[in-house]
Amino acid sequence: MTEITLYNTKTRQKERFEPLDKKNVRMYVCGPTVYDRAHLGNARPVVVFDVLYRLLRHVYGAEHVTYVRNFTDVDDKINATALARKKAGAKGSIEDLVHERSDETIDWYLADMGALGALEPDQMPRATEFIAPMVAMIEDLVAKGHAYAAEGHVLFSVDSWREGYGKLSGRSVDDMIAGARVEVAPYKKNPMDFVLWKPSSDDLPGWESPWGRGRPGWHIECSAMSHALLGDSFDIHGGGLDLQFPHHENEIAQSKCAHPEGEFARYWMHNEMLQVEGKKMSKSLGNFFTVRDLLDQGVPGEVIRFVFLQTHYRKPMDWTEKKRQEAEQTLSKWAALVAGTDAGTMPEAVVKELANDLNTSGAVAHLHLLAKEGDAVGLRTGLDLLGFGDLSEFEALKGMVALQDDVVLKTHENLLAKVREVAMTTKDFSEVDRLKAAYVAAGLEVRMSKTGVELLPTPTFDPAKLEALT
Ligand code: AMP
Ligand code: ZN
């Protein structure tokens, strides 16, 4: 069985991955708050953990992996849209309108992520469907002395678990208090205490609880849903690096204190953030866009996925126009190469790269090698594993053109090699020089060595300029 190694944020090192149960490998990834379209950054964890999911399914068998990703549908921004619609005359209760808005954004999310080739997780729980387990977990935390009720709120007491709090993110509670801009509410015993439950006003969705009508805090949602679906010990917990603190730290505190007999998550994985042309994506910089914006502009989802996979998930990644163009060219070529080819034996080198802490760029490099060798079956099979299932509709025409370029280049490489061979005996290199100059003028880089001749297209390559030469 392929040995997988993963970088575990908890121990800050690469570790051999050993699931608790090879027949049921369990992974939980924090999903989106469903208030609007997903932006390009939101797609990064989706693609990263989709690759991991595919790798786990390949190694342990598709039926032996359970992947859970939640939807956070308790949120002020969802409420705001619902309220605005109600004010504008929409029919139904506020709960109905909130549900409607969440349904709408969940459908968008699944369609957009589907376009990126992401498989749907086995379970996609919605927070609003797990309120009862959340209330039960909070009650348990109160009973065990890890939480306290105050003014309609219930707070987790960080001081009740000093020995564990801060381990994941590597901070001490004292440092956190000194450095954090936490909300200092009069009802908090320690400024780092965080909300498990808070009151809801009458015009907003709320649920009855022992502490009055209210709603859960964000962190308890993931603790309760992962416990309900995966148990008190499971294998992998993932999300963006921005969630490591406080969200994941708080999840650990809640889950370990409520279920001390369990391990909660054993391997913690965090993807680095996405930037655009070297800058943080933000509305004020005007470089903020959604996945749907790109798809609507005609950028195929496969191209977005390909660009993502070229950067290791633990490195910041930059979305650039140049990368988009290059990805489009590569995929067009590959689409033409694998057209009509069925998958066959898995190229083990591709699996090995992924098994090495998801070295997706290494895996892509190996696909380039397979393409260069003309191994269409290997390329097709490797592409499947990386989630590029169907490239048939993928700009087939462009692919043909790109492939023709390759054939044309090969012809010219052969021509130049032959002319050079003749020149070696006649000692007349004028024809070699004439051809070389023509290739450079056509935008090609000419590489001649003892072993052979190579013509490499530069960005100014114009195949039309070669036509007169043959
Ligand atoms: P949110 O809906 O804001 O809770 O985010 C959903 C997921 O997207 C989380 O796993 C975040 O860590 C992730 N995320 C948000 N912004 C970015 C970004 N710029 N780059 C990578 N991941 C991000
Ligand atoms: Zn979470």
What string of pLDDT tens digits covers the 470 residues of the chain?
899 999 999 999 999 999 999 999 999 999 999 999 999 999 999 999 999 999 999 999 999 999 999 999 999 999 999 999 999 999 999 999 999 999 999 999 999 999 999 999 999 999 999 999 999 999 999 999 999 999 999 999 999 999 999 999 998 888 887 776 666 788 899 999 999 999 999 989 999 999 999 999 999 999 999 999 999 999 999 999 999 999 999 999 999 999 999 999 999 999 999 999 999 988 888 888 999 999 999 899 999 999 999 999 999 999 999 999 999 889 989 998 998 899 999 999 999 999 999 999 999 999 999 999 999 999 999 999 999 988 877 755 454 556 667 778 888 999 999 999 999 999 999 999 999 999 999 889 899 988 889 998 776 778 778 877 76
pLDDT of amino acid 397: 46
Q: Are residues 9 and 137 in the same domain?
A: yes
Q: Which of 206, 240, 271 is the last residue of a domain?
A: 271
Q: Are residues 134 and 33 in the same domain?
A: yes
Q: Are residues 414 and 456 in the same domain?
A: yes
Give the angle subtended at the CA of 458 by the CAs of 303 and 400, to the nearest 5°: 50
pLDDT of amino acid 349: 98
Q: Are residues 174 and 202 in the same domain?
A: yes
> pTM of the entire structure?
0.85
Q: 235 φ, ψ to 5°?
A: -85, -60
Q: How far apart are CA 39 and CA 105, in angstroms?
A: 12
Positive/negative CA dihedral, 303, 306, 308, 311: negative
Q: Are residues 267 and 279 in the same domain?
A: no
Q: Which of 247, 271, 295 is the last residue of a domain?
A: 271
Structural domain contains residue 31:
yes
Q: How far apart are CA 418 and CA 425, in angstroms?
A: 11
Atom of ligand 1 nearest to the CA of 240: 12
Contact 349 CB / ligand 1 (< 6 Å)? no
Segments forming the whole domain that contains residue 418 = 401-469
**Chain centre to alpha carbon of residue 213:** 36
Q: Are residues 316 and 231 in the same domain?
A: no
Structural domain contains residue 410:
yes
Q: Are residues 427 and 383 in the same domain?
A: no
Contact 45 CB / ligand 1 (< 6 Å)? yes
Structural domain contains residue 111:
yes
Q: Are residues 293 and 161 in the same domain?
A: no
Q: Are residues 168 and 283 in the same domain?
A: no
d(CA 32, ligand 1 centre) in Å: 7
Q: Are residues 358 and 413 in the same domain?
A: no
* Contact between residue 214 and residue 199 where contact means Cβ atoms under 8 Å apart: yes
Q: Are residues 368 and 438 in the same domain?
A: no
Structural domain contains residue 234:
yes
Please report, for the domain that includes residue 243, its CATH number. 3.40.50.620
pLDDT of amino acid 245: 94
Q: Which of 271, 289, 324 is the last residue of a domain?
A: 271
Ligand at minimal distance from the CA of 77 is 1
Number of domains in the chain: 3
d(CA 41, ligand 1 centre) in Å: 6
Q: Are residues 146 and 198 in the same domain?
A: yes
